[in-house]
Amino acid sequence: MTNKITSLFIIVFLFPQISSAQKKYKDSLIKYQQNYVATQVVGKDDKKYIQFYEIDKSFCLTATFKQMNDKKGFDMNTSSGMKKKYFKYGMLTFKLHDSLLHLICLSI
Residue ranges per structural domain of the chain? 2-49, 57-107
At 6-55, the pLDDT tens digits run: 444 444 444 454 445 567 878 888 888 888 777 766 667 777 777 778 88
Q: Which helix (H) or strand (E) holds 93?
A: strand 83-96
Neighbours of 26 (CB within 10 A): 11
Q: How confident is the model at residue 86 (pLDDT cuts 50, 70, 90)?
A: very high
Q: How many angstroms separate the CA atoms of 27 and 77, rounded?
A: 39
State the pTM of this model.
Answer: 0.55
Residue type, 55: I
Residue type, 108: I
